[in-house]
């Protein structure tokens, strides 16, 4: 039986016992009323921060939608102006022909 006790390393056993002791104390500390109040306060702060971030994100999304719609409108105007230019590109020649006939 003494041979079995000689195999046990006192240093490792002490470290294990200290770990169990600190673990038990840590669990009690984490479950205390003060700790719960702290956790509640931290959770409330996170929820407030989340609300602020969501408000900012919503504003950013609305602005992005406005920018997108304005960009679409600009492109439609340019496209319409481009079509008007294409239509008028053929008209000056026709006007010159009409002008030439009037001169005769």
Please check whether residue 83 is in contact with residue 90, taking contact to mean a CB–CB distance below 8 angstroms.
no
Residue ranges per domain, the chain?
Answer: 12-103
Nearest Cα residue to 38 out of 49, 29, 25: 29
What pLDDT shows up at residue 23? 84
pLDDT category of residue 93 using cuts at 50, 70 and 90: low
Nearest Cα residue to 39 out of 48, 30, 28: 30
Comparison of pLDDT for 36 and 12, the residue scoring more: 36
Check whether 72 has a pLDDT greater than 80.
yes
Please check whether residue 35 is in contact with residue 29, taking contact to mean a CB–CB distance below 8 angstroms.
yes
Q: What is the arithmetic mean of pLDDT over 50-73?
A: 96
| DSSP type of residue 2 | H
The token duo for 89 is 């590109």
């Amino acid at each position: 039986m003494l041979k079995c006790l000689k195999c046990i390393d006192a240093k490792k056993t002490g470290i294990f016992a200290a770990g169990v002791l600190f673990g038990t104390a840590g669990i009690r500390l984490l479950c205390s009323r003060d700790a719960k109040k702290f956790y509640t306060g931290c959770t409330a702060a996170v929820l407030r921060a989340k609300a602020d971030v969501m408000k900012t994100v919503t504003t950013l999304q609305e602005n992005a939608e406005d920018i997108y719609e304005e960009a679409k409108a600009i492109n439609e105007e340019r496209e319409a102006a481009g079509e008007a230019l294409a239509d008028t590109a053929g008209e000056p020649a026709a006007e010159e022909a009409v002008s030439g006939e009037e001169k005769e």
